Structure 1
Amino acid sequence: MIKIAGWIMVVYAAAHTLGALFVVGAARHAGAWFSGELWHDDLADMSPANSALWLSLDSFGPPVVVIGLIVLWMDRRGITPPPFIAWTLGVLTVVDAVILFLTPWPILLVAIVLLLVGARRATAAGQPEAEGARS
């Protein structure tokens, strides 16, 4: 379950980031991103280039890829990921669902539930938890 949860997180977040960059076309603003054009951009009234940056590279996509890879790394070593990972992502997912209902948030919710159930089962079976995650 933990491995499936990790893979769902990686694929979901990578698809979001790559989709924003190449399907939606955010990457066409790369020139503005790397030229310093956004340094004085108003976050309350974003330019299209700034909006594209926040949709793609500065979204939660890249960090969720990293979290998914960490979950997979821990699972390969027989370490149970701490529940706070799932609970934190769960809170962010619920907030996302309330704000933007018509997004694919249920996919991430499946990963969160699998991670929580897998962590509980692993702990019950005596698998070691990550340091500092013991209650």
Structure 2
Amino acid sequence: MIKCAGWLFVLFGAAHTLLALTMEGAARHAGEWFSGALWGEGFSDMSPANSALWLSLESFGPPLVLLGLVVLWLDGRGITPPPFIAWTLGILSLVDAVILITTPWPLLLLANILLLVGGRRAARRVNPESHADAMRVP
């Protein structure tokens, strides 16, 4: 489950970034990005080049790829990723769902659920006695 969640994070982040660069045409503004044309721009009067930058390279896509790779790296070493990763991204996914209902937020929410459930199962396998004690009624 954890491995599946990690790959979903990588897939989602990479797809978002690559689709923004290609299908949305953000890459055609690369010349402006590297020329210094955006240095004096603010968020209130964003140019198409600045908007394209924030949609693609400065979006959450690249960090989500990195986060997915970290989850996979941890899982490959038998380390359970901390639950705050899934909780934080899950809340962000739900906020995204409210603001932009047509985005593929259910895919991210699924990855977060898989990460939470996988983490709980891994914790039970590592320390079954403490889980049994916690479930026991005094």
TM-score w.r.t. length of structure 1: 0.92
Q: Which shifted more, 93-102 or 110-119?
A: 93-102
CA distance in 2, matches of 1:4, 1:30: 33
- Gaps in structure 2 of 5+ consecutive residues: 128-138
Shift of 1:14: 0.1
Cα offset for 1:113? 0.3
> C-alpha deviations, 1:66-111, integer Å up to 9, x for none?
0000000000000000000101111111111111111001011110
Tell me the amino acid that sits aligned with residue 2 of structure 1. Answer: I
Q: Equivalent residue for 1:41?
A: 41
Which residue in 1 is equivalent to 2:116?
Answer: 116
Partner residue in 2 for 1:133: none
Tell me whether 1:61 sits opposite 2:61 in the alignment: yes
* More deviation, 37-46/5-14: 37-46
Matched residues in 1 for 2:45 and 2:83: separation?
Answer: 37
Q: How many Å separate the matches in 2 of 1:56 and 1:125? A: 40
- Classify the secondary structure of the residue corresponding to 1:39: coil
The number of equivalent residue pairs is 127
CA distance in 2, matches of 1:71, 1:8: 11
Q: CA RMSD in A?
A: 0.8
- TM-score, normalization by structure 2: 0.90
Equivalent residue, structure 1, for 2:83: 83
Give the drift of 1:30.
0.3
How far apart are 1:23 and its partner, in Å?
1.3
Q: Deviations over 1:14-59 (max 9, x none)?
A: 0000000011110000001000000111211210000000000000
Asked if 1:102 is matched to 2:68, the reply is no
Aligned twin of 2:132: none
Distance 1:46 1:101 in 2: 24
CA distance in 2, matches of 1:58, 1:105: 19
Q: Which runs of 4+ in 1 moved over 6 A?
A: none
Identity, in percent, stands at 69
CA distance in 1, matches of 2:35, 2:43: 17
